[in-house]
Amino acid sequence: MIKSNLKPLLDERKISIRQLSREINHEYPTVRKLYRDEMERYPRELLDKVCTYLNIELHELLIFQKIITISNTQDENDILKL
């Protein structure tokens, strides 16, 4: 699973979503979705702008989390996150 790490990155820098969207000239709702980890598809242009603005690498913005199921059930208690 791919997760956005934008929230902690902005929080530690004390940058608001609105400020970031203005600075990188990108639509606020899209930046907000990335911040809230609600995106299903990540626009390249947005990723490039955010990484450039924050001076970070892509792997710092988007984090890959392996999910391992330990049984055939779909119960949340049966899923481990590594």
Give the residue among 71, 66, 69 at the shortest CA–CA distance from 82: 66
Q: What percent of the chain has pLDDT over 70?
A: 85
What domains can be seen in the chain, in order of their start residue?
2-69 (1.10.260.40)
Res 67 pLDDT > 90: no
pLDDT at residue 75 in the model: 60
Res 78 pLDDT > 70: no
Res 50 pLDDT > 90: yes
pLDDT tens-digit profile of 39-49?
Answer: 999 999 999 99
Q: Where are the alpha helices (DSSP H) in the chain?
A: 6-13, 17-24, 28-35, 44-54, 58-61
Residues in the chain: 82
Is-above-0.75 flag for pTM? yes
Q: Residues 81, 69: contact at Cβ < 8 Å?
A: no
Q: How far apart are the first and last CA of the chain?
A: 11
Res 70 pLDDT > 90: no
